[in-house]
A = this chain, B = another copy of it.
Amino acid sequence: MHGAHFIQDLAVIMLVAGLVTVLFHKLKQPVVLGYLIAGLIIGPHTPPYTLITDEATINTLAELGVVFLMFSLGLEFSLKKLTKVGAAALVAASAEIVLMVWIGYEVGRAFGWRTMDSLFLGAMLSISSTTIIVKALDELKLKQEGFAKLIFGVLIVEDVLAIAMLALLSGIAMTGSVQIEEVGATLGKLAIFITVALVAGLLLVPRLLAYVAQSASREMLLVTVLGICFGFCLFALKLGYSVALGAFIIGAVMAESEHLKTIENLIEPIRDLFSAIFFVAIGLMLNPAVLVQYAWPIALLTIVVVVGKVVSCGLGVFISGNDPRTSLRVGMGLAQIGEFSFIIAALGASLKVTSDFLYPIAVAVSAITTLLTPYLIKGADQTGNVLGKLMPRRTAEVLGVYSQWLASLRLEGDQAVLAGMIRRILLQVAVNCMLVAAIFLGGAWLGEHLSHLLNWYKAVLWGAALLLSLPFLVAIYRKLVALAMLLAEIGIADNRAGTYTPQVRKLVSRLIPLAALVGIGFGIAALSAAILPPWELLWLVLAIALLLLLVLHRAMVAIHARLQIALLETLEDNSRH
């Protein structure tokens, strides 16, 4: 049979990977490190000769490794977890990423590297490896400790921010410039994409999977899951995003399915197979000569990663109200980079905007920091003691005062409830706005693909988009009214407007939503410029819409309510299982 080369390659990869894995397990080192070294051993740059003949096919399979790694990450991620990790994780992850991208960029520039190389370097240094850190904590039996939960929180937020970074980097690499409007537009589109994908996905996918799972055929469930996963990756790819992003989002959607356990069981061996190939393929690209050549940058960047992450994460966790000991533990637990760095490096390489040396440097720094991870975690307390002794008393006092001040800021009782309500309303308004935006963007996209657009067509298309959006617009208005009433209640104290207080409150609670709707209207007009009909037709469309609104107002509220309930059911069903 043909394809002997391919079988040979796979045989060599799996054999060496198996051997090194067993060895690394004996040495109590992460398996991932074993894969990288297995790749180095059989790679083309190490004597006696290359054992891999068909590198292109291996790289294709390695790409599937990215898909399955990100998909699994998505499966482990859940929207509910995201809401629970709270402010500390958000602050720490943001501080870490901003600081590390900046330091990485500056270090790169200091080495005399090109702007794009430096930017990608910063991005590569900013994200820690969920896989490796979770495994390290697991092996050290620390998974249940408080600081470990904080670490997981930071990792989850990091994953989300990394997704945004992937999209941003693609945009910057393609346009070649970093402009604030560009960044805004990219992030805005990304937010719309993620929101629409999550809402539509959560409404459809878990129900579809439940239907398929009725058959009790694991094969059918697997094929369906893979079909949806690859289908969505393809969709993301067509919209200009990476497959990694697509796989992560659809994984997060499936995480809310009631059959999550079965799906994880089915995907696990496939992910392990392809991720082994992925990591070995990365090792294949390692050229020891390049590593020696860049020994100094690698050493320096390793120090940058460890010190930078300990400081930035630790500070972030401390600022958001944790004691110094916990902060240090979290910081030292996160001082590491991994698979995301490889994915970012691969992105740069495939877009042809980065130099060849970036990939091996990322791999080398990752390998060294991965080796250090268990020791850093174990050494956190000792380091804390040493630092505590070295610290001047004044500094320690300032830190203590800060903690007290922060604690006094916390909202309590009624205020906390109120803040929660406002937050929820704002979230709902934002989600609905994004859905409306997505509908009009979709309409505009359709319009652009119909050549010689007549005004009548435009009017019909725009009208259809408006009709589809109406339930969401109605919902936005109703939420805004509720918000305005709440704000009026708080903001306009009883004694302020005297006897007119109720009237003033009512006025405010009507004015705010109307003003907001006008703003949304302008936003829609801007998004749908390509299909915006001329004024006379626009008035007609709006008149029809208004008429429909008057007649079908109740139906629209009902439709929206039903969708919202279905969504909440999906999110809650899962927690019961």
Contact = CB atoms under 8 A, between A and B. Distances in A.
Nearest to A2: B350
Interface in A218-243: 218-220, 222-224, 226-231, 233-234, 237, 242-243
In this complex, the member of A14, A267, A268 whose beta carbon has the largest number of chain B beta carbons within 10 angstroms is A14
A40 B57 CA distance: 25
A219 B228 CA distance: 25
A18 interface: yes
A139 to B, nearest CB: 10
A392 to B, nearest CB: 47
Interface size class on chain A is 35 or more
A567 interface: no
A269 interface: yes
A1 B60 CA distance: 11
A63 B350 contact: no
A227 B19 contact: yes
A18 B212 CA distance: 10
Contacts of A31: 217, 219-220
| Nearest 4 CB-CB pairings of A with B | A18-B227, A11-B230, A14-B227, A11-B234
Interface stretch (A253-261, A270-278, A448-456): A270-278
Interface in A59-115: 59-60, 63-64, 67
A24 to B, nearest CB: 9
Contacts of A267: 269
Which of A11, A217, A237 has the most C-beta atoms of chain B within 10 angstroms of its own C-beta?
A: A11
B18 A223 contact: yes
Given A8-B234, A67-B7, A18 B272 contact: no
Contacts of A242: 1
Given A3-B60, A7-B234, A8-B234, 13 more contacts: A1-B346, A1-B350, A14-B226, A14-B229, A15-B230, A16-B227, A18-B226, A21-B224, A22-B224, A219-B276, A226-B273, A267-B269, A270-B273
